[in-house]
Structure 1
C-alpha cells in the first residue's frame, strides 16, 4: 500500500550511481515503468553515462558542490568540467524540471556569495528546483 500511495520506486545514491548505467538500465527493465527511479549524483561522470540514463530515470538529485572551478577543486580534489558539461546536456534534453540541484554551503570552502553565483549560472541553463543547505563538518 505504501508503494502505491507514494508512487513508489528506488533512489540510487551512495558512491556514484551514474558510474553504473548498465545496472540501472537492467533494473529499469526488471521493474518496468511503474517504479520511479531517482539518482543522487555529482554528475562528475562521462557524458555517455548521463546520455544513457536520461531516458530511464525520473529524477536526478544533483550535488554540484559549487560551480566555481577553484572552489570545487579545492573541496573535491577534481575539476568540475564534467559536471558543467552534464548540466548542459540535461538542459539540451529539456530535463531541467526533473532535477533538484543541491548547492551546499561548505564551511571553509565557499560562502553565500559563491552559492548565489552558482545558482545564477545554473538558473541560466533553465534549472528551477534548488536545495540550499549547509554541510556539517565534523572534526575528529
Structure 2
C-alpha cells in the first residue's frame, strides 16, 4: 500500500537531511510512474525547500510540453528514459507514439538545458539493435545532448 504525501508532508520528512543535501549537492529525485504529470506538486515542493536542494526528474518525457515548460525552471536535472528515438521501435515497445518525447527534447534543447540531462538509451532485446541505439545517440547529439547512459534491458520470461 502506498502512502500519499502533500508537498508539505514530503518536505517535513526530507528536510531532516537538509544540511547533508547542501553539503553534498544532494536532494530529491522524483521518479515514476511519471513525475512530470505531477508538476504542481513538484513546483510547490521547490517553493518549500528553496533553491539549495538538487531536484531531479526521472522521466520518459511522454507528457504534454506545457508540463515540461512548467518544470524546467524548477528542477536541476533530468534523467530521461528515451527507449528509442525511432518512432516505430518506440511504438512497438511502448504501444504509444513518441511525438511528445521528441517535442520535449526539442524544447529542452531550445532552452539550452541539454547538459542538465542524462539520456538513457537501452538496448531492448527483440525491439532494437546496437545500430538503432547508435542512431538514437546521433540524433540526440544533433540536438546538443552529450550525456548518455547505454545499457541493456533484462527481459524476464514468465
Instruction: Please say whether Structure 1 and Structure 2 have the same fold, judged by a TM-score greater than 0.5.
Output: yes
Aligned counterpart, 1:83: 101
Normalising by structure 1, we get a TM-score of 0.97
> What is the alpha-carbon root mean square deviation over aligned residues?
0.9
Aligned counterpart, 1:60: 78
Aligned counterpart, 1:9: 27
Q: How does 1:35-74 map to 2 (within 5 A)?
A: 35-74=53-92
RCO higher in structure (CA 8 A, sep ≥6):
1
Normalising by structure 2, we get a TM-score of 0.86
Which of structure 1's runs of 4+ aligned residues deviate more than 4 A?
Answer: none
Distance in 2 (CA, whole Å) between partners of 1:17 and 1:106 is 23
Q: Say whether 1:124 aligns with 2:142.
A: yes
Q: Is the 8 A contact 2:61 2:80 kept in 1?
A: yes
Distance in 2 (CA, whole Å) between partners of 1:67 and 1:25 is 29
What is the number of residues matched between the two proteins?
A: 140
Q: Which has the larger radius of gyration?
A: 2
Q: Say whether 1:133 aligns with 2:151.
A: yes
